[in-house]
């Protein structure tokens, strides 16, 4: 199963592709590490973001997108733009999207710790949360 882990930060959807088949994990190369939106108040920009994300999912034959859930209120609450991006992703036709809480991710990682350190993955440091989200989601299924 090919999964796309997503962490929404500001105007960016930080992504990480993870392919899990026959109990083997593979991190396929991806043309982008994040998809950004310029002006989140512009309908055209939101549509452009949605189209770009949908095209990436289609091109890489992603079966499922998992988004790291953010708090809705309080000191560490996600911004309005992030919630717009989340909605734009969730509304892509024929795309299976799941929002996973940090608690679920932490529990999954506790049961199935990473076999290698994040640095050994070759991903950029800012992709770590997207990677752990995808990895934890794959491990929840097993």
User: Which tens digits make up the pLDDT trace of 53-109?
Assistant: 999 999 999 999 999 998 777 776 767 899 999 999 999 999 999 999 999 999 999
Cα(82)–Cα(116) distance, rounded to whole angstroms? Answer: 30
100 backbone dihedrals φ, ψ, rounded to 5°: -115, 130
Question: Is the pLDDT confidence value at 131 over 80?
Answer: yes
35-41 long-range contacts (CB < 8 A, ≥24 apart) are 36/11, 36/12, 37/11, 37/12, 37/81, 37/84, 37/85, 38/11, 40/11, 40/80, 40/81, 40/84, 40/85
pTM: 0.91
Task: Give the pairing of strands 2-9 and 64-68.
Answer: parallel
Residue pLDDT, tens place only, 1-29 = 899 999 999 899 999 999 988 888 899 99
User: 């733009």: which residue's tokens?
Assistant: 81
In this predicted structure, what is the pLDDT of residue 99? 95
- Domain range 2-141, CATH architecture: 2-Layer Sandwich (3.30)
Domain residue spans in the chain? 2-141
């Amino acid at each position: 199963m090919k999964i796309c882990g997503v962490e929404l930060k500001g105007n960016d959807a930080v992504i990480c592709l993870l392919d899990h088949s026959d109990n083997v994990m593979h991190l396929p190369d991806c043309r982008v590490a994040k998809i950004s939106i310029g002006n989140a108040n512009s309908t055209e920009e939101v549509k452009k973001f949605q189209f770009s994300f949908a095209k990436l999912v289609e091109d890489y034959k992603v079966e499922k997108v998992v988004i790291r859930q953010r708090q809705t209120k309080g000191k560490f609450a996600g911004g309005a733009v992030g919630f717009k991006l989340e909605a734009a992703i969730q509304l892509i036709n024929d795309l299976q999207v799941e929002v996973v809480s940090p608690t679920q991710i932490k529990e999954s990682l506790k049961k199935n710790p990473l076999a290698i350190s994040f640095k050994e993955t070759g991903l950029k440091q800012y992709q770590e949360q997207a990677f752990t989200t995808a990895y934890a989601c794959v491990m929840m299924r097993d």
